[in-house]
Structure 1
Amino acid sequence: MAVAGSDDQKAAFRRAVNKVHAQVYSTPESPVSYHAFDPELQLWVAACLYKGGVDVYRTFVGEMDDEEADHHYRAGMAMGTTLQVPPQMWPPDRAAFDRYWRQSLDRVHIDDVVRDYLYPIVALRIRGIALPGPLRRLSEGIALLITTGFLPQRFRDEMRLPWDATKQRRFDALMAVLRTVNRLMPRFVREFPFNLMLWDLDRRMRRGRPLV
């Protein structure tokens, strides 16, 4: 939304997200202090989204030349500045971003509570849907392979997700198949679900319905 949306869509989505973020903050009983409007936390989220997008593009499309990479980087800034990240906080170029990324990775720590919360998401377990045993193991195995394959090693270690050369080969083989299938698909299918999300956002804006 922040990258591909129109100015009107971005403004509407910013207002909607701000309403939700206003409810996300620590209390005196919280083990750490936080607030969803914290620009440093938003910068980290935006950086993860940008980095993930680059990794996916590299996997399914290929390496970008410098001009294209710089264009994607400038566009990626909107994922932070659409909310509360001031433009001057976004690293000025890709080299500065790489330094910020490495330094931030060194600070990543995931405790047992957060790990237990995240693991079902990583394994693509959908609440309320109980798949038969063999199908569940297959689904979770594929989800874990894909998610773990894209994660930096620091996240794998903190999430205690095992990774080795065999898993890397399986990941590479699966990505090669998906890359071929992706290239054969028509553009509107390749752009799913983001094209659907923008259409749904317009529909909600016209009808005055909540956006988030």
Structure 2
Amino acid sequence: MTDRPDAQTPAPLGPGSLTWRYFGDTRMILVGPRAPVLQNMLPALGQGVLDHSVFFTDTFARVKRSTGPILDTVYGAERSAETGHKVRDYHRDIKGTMPDGSRYHALDPETYYWAHATFLDNMLYGIETFIRPLGEAEKRRIYEESKTWFRMYGVSDRVMPDDWEAFQAYWTRMLDEEIVPHKTARYGVGYVKKGLPAPPKVPAPVWRAVSPPLNAVARFLTVGGMHPRMRELLDLPWSAADERRHHRFAKAVRAANRVWPLLPEAARYLPQARRAFRRARPR
């Protein structure tokens, strides 16, 4: 859990990186909650959320509080390391005991890197599903950028795979051997079977009218964006017909990408990315 010395903090990512181009792209939203659900399927991380987070009482607040600082770490330019260290420090007191009596800590390198790896996977999957195929050289480039990004947190990188090929082996092992249907992950996808919770300010009759299509869309995006191993462990039904529909949906999104550059930047990128692009433009 030792921090990296400041002298070893790498130069931040910038507008020339593929990560800047895609991580804050609003099309990533179409992936659904693939990354946070995967995070919570690692026992230590799921337990930390169960014991310490407001996830169960205010799910959307937890997601918003986590996503913003991570985007700022990617797009913060010269402030990326400062922001990354703040993100790390949020996790210093997240520790406790697992059901088997072993101890966990959010800053254990294995646990912290897993959370980061799920964001990398989410971006790669989102690009290839909804934007365009990536060549092997581009995947290696994005992976190398992810190493720079991870080092902005100032957490030990001893478990980080050396290269893209090693990361692929790591990812396969984690999916095959390490993730479980933790209670936190099951809760996070509970609305797939039970429906979305009614927002507190929406009248009950209105919610009864609008919730069926919203529930259908939420289920489609959530389960459709998951790795088959996640669906298997979480017992989420997904038929061959569902898979065909999702492929057709992704193909339609990719076809619409021809007009994507014509849309306003506010429609194409999240606020953190837009602010970074503005700062990086020549004055």
Question: Fold match, TM over 0.5?
Answer: yes
Percent identity over the alignment is 23
CA distances 1:6-64 after superposition (whole Å, capped 9, x unpaired): 031x1231232133212311158896532111111111111111011001001122112
Distance 1:197 1:158 in 2: 39
Distance 2:250 2:213 in 1: 17
Instruction: Provide the aligned length of Structure 1 versus Structure 2.
Output: 198
Match of 1:5 in 2: 76
Q: Does 1:96 align with 2:96?
A: no
Distance 1:139 1:167 in 2: 17
Q: Does 1:144 align with 2:219?
A: yes
Instruction: Name the SS for the 1:41 alignment partner.
Output: helix
The unaligned stretches of length 5 or more in structure 2 are 1-70
The unaligned stretches of length 5 or more in structure 1 are 203-212
User: Of the candidates 247, 250, 269, which is equivalent to residue 191 of structure 1?
Assistant: 269
Q: For residue 273 of structure 2, what is the amino acid of its counterpart?
A: N
Match of 2:135 in 1: 65
Q: Say if 1:125 and 1:140, in contact at 8 Å, map to a contact too.
A: no
Go from structure 1 to structure 2 and tell me whether the alpha carbon gap of 1:156 and 1:86 turns closer, same or farther (over 3 Å shift).
same
TM-score normalised over the length of structure 1 = 0.78
Q: For residue 153 of structure 1, what is the amino acid of its counterpart?
A: P
Root-mean-square deviation (Å): 3.0
Query: What are the equivalent positions in structure 2 for 1:65-144 lying under 5 Å apart?
Result: 65-106=135-176, 107-111=178-182, 113-120=183-190, 125=197, 128=200, 130=202, 132-144=207-219
Instruction: Name the SS for the 2:75 alignment partner.
Output: coil
How many angstroms does 1:197 deviate by? 7.1
Distance 1:197 1:124 in 2: 32
Instruction: Name the SS for the 1:89 alignment partner.
Output: coil
TM-score normalised over the length of structure 2 = 0.60
Q: For residue 38 of structure 1, what is the amino acid of its counterpart?
A: D
Q: Does 1:54 align with 2:97?
A: no
Distance 1:117 1:74 in 2: 33
How many angstroms does 1:193 deviate by? 4.5
User: Of the candidates 243, 249, 263, which is equivalent to residue 174 of structure 1?
Assistant: 249
Q: Say if 1:3 and 1:76, in contact at 8 Å, map to a contact too.
A: no
Structure 1 runs (4+) deviating above 4 angstroms are 27-32, 120-127, 196-199
Distance 2:104 2:144 in 1: 28
